[in-house]
Structure 1
């Protein structure tokens, strides 16, 4: 038989005190959220009869999760980051804000301050062998008009599935650039074909996924922030067609309308015309922005992000 006491006045008074609701200091918003967290945690413990060993093993896990800097990876793997996108989609639909390129998760591996280029950029530092990839497309408004001067902030992994900054073997801002669209709304980049990646097999995210009977693999993908004055900021990514994990992404980032077709070319003359030798790849992807209903919508979220030290 499960004993339940969380509803009693003594326990509710305890949580009210612990949440700071009996004082006038601190954050009123955090107090309300904290009280709800404590109440819901107690209900979970009682309803599911969580044992003391399970409770303290969870506390230990949270310590290890924080020490690994994988919390951002775990929330993606548990579908919470995708849930936030679906929630925002529903909120938009409720007020009639529809259309444009779909949003999807940012993930935990963005680094602010990437070099800026006008119209086109070379993203890789030339130190890694890999298939050259030409990435190009246009940014349009809701009516199909090109958006000049938009910022296409793009980042992706290398051929090992690793990201610069987090992988210290790569040069600063390798495979990260901000490209300003030209008068026709075009952006162009030369890079290398990225690989997907998997959670560290010894890390706390994979530890949970394994207990859930799940893998921790992502398909090859390319991340984007798209922004322009007067338009809603877009956080999105394209997963590359043909990847084994395209529709089995552990982070739930693949969405209809966000699959990038990748074309490989073996033709030597075509390679020479592109200034490369051997096999190369091309990816074309256009973006359509919504008008910003309010000025704040032009900005990305204030989520904490890494910044490369000078």
Structure 2
């Protein structure tokens, strides 16, 4: 026969044991932050893991040099056409090789999944000059529209873009490539708004606050990469993955 004190003691023991078992259960369900980063479903569905936060790619100014109806290339045809060249490259100019994956963010998967997209690209050539932007001109130098597969992957070769003065007398603009990215369905119809943005390269002395364009976002972390020489001294290579909101 237990006394009142004995009952209280054993009740506490039972509660402690139960709490320990529950704690052990929580520990078995706990996943490292690295695992959560590798599997966003863990971070979303498991209440014992840190919520994964992925930053969507920010927009940037379109600028005055966008031109519609640039040549179209399908990434699925890459094996047939070889490397896609936005600006024709040769040994005289610094060559830039870019690739990346377009992802679409959602509430269920904030870090996104690959999505088919149209990736429009335009830029200045190595001398800092854009091709004719008038609609009557058939000059589409350094302009292209890339259609990715369902894996969202794009890649192209181009010239490393030259710097130019924003208003002829002011500071230079940093080297950059303009992008307009539109998610597509399997019928190549747009499924959302286009992201108008730009890619910049570190290090560059003309990134903000030294950018000749005072309202452009050349210091935005999601818009910058470090390109490196991997195969020769005149070729820079970089990867820029885009997360659409």
Verify same fold: TM over 0.5.
yes
Matched, 1:285 2:232: no
Pair 1:285–1:126, CA change in 2 (3 A): closer
Helix, strand or coil for the counterpart of 1:134? strand
The structure showing larger relative contact order (alpha-carbon pairs under 8 Å, at least 6 residues apart) is 2
List runs of 5+ in structure 2 lacking aligned partners: 1-53, 79-83, 184-189
Shift of 1:240: 1.3
Helix, strand or coil for the counterpart of 1:122? coil
Alpha-carbon distance in 1 for matches of 2:89, 2:240: 24
Matches within 5 A, 1:133-144: 133-142=96-105, 143=109, 144=112
Matched, 1:186 2:153: yes
Alpha-carbon distance in 2 for matches of 1:264, 1:197: 24
Matches within 5 A, 1:234-273: 234-247=195-208, 248-251=210-213, 252-253=215-216, 254=218, 255-265=220-230, 270=231
1:232/1:289 contact within 8 Å kept: no
Q: How many residue pairs are counted as aligned between the two chains?
A: 168
Which residue matches 2:67? 111
Q: Which has the larger radius of gyration?
A: 2
1:231/1:289 contact within 8 Å kept: no
Helix, strand or coil for the counterpart of 1:151? strand
List runs of 5+ in structure 1 lacking aligned partners: 1-97, 207-214, 272-277, 291-310
Shift of 1:249: 1.1
Alpha-carbon distance in 2 for matches of 1:200, 1:103: 22
Shift of 1:156: 0.9
TM superposition score normalised by structure 2: 0.62
Match for residue 100 of structure 1 among 56, 67, 85: 56
Matches within 5 A, 1:73-88: none
Alpha-carbon distance in 2 for matches of 1:197, 1:128: 22
The structure where helix makes up a greater share of residues is: 1
Any runs of at least 4 consecutive aligned residues in structure 1 with deviations exceeding 4 A, and if so which? none
Pair 1:126–1:280, CA change in 2 (3 A): closer
CA deviation digits over 1:231-257, x for unaligned, max 9? 221000012111110122121321231
Alpha-carbon distance in 2 for matches of 1:159, 1:239: 15
Which residue matches 1:154? 121
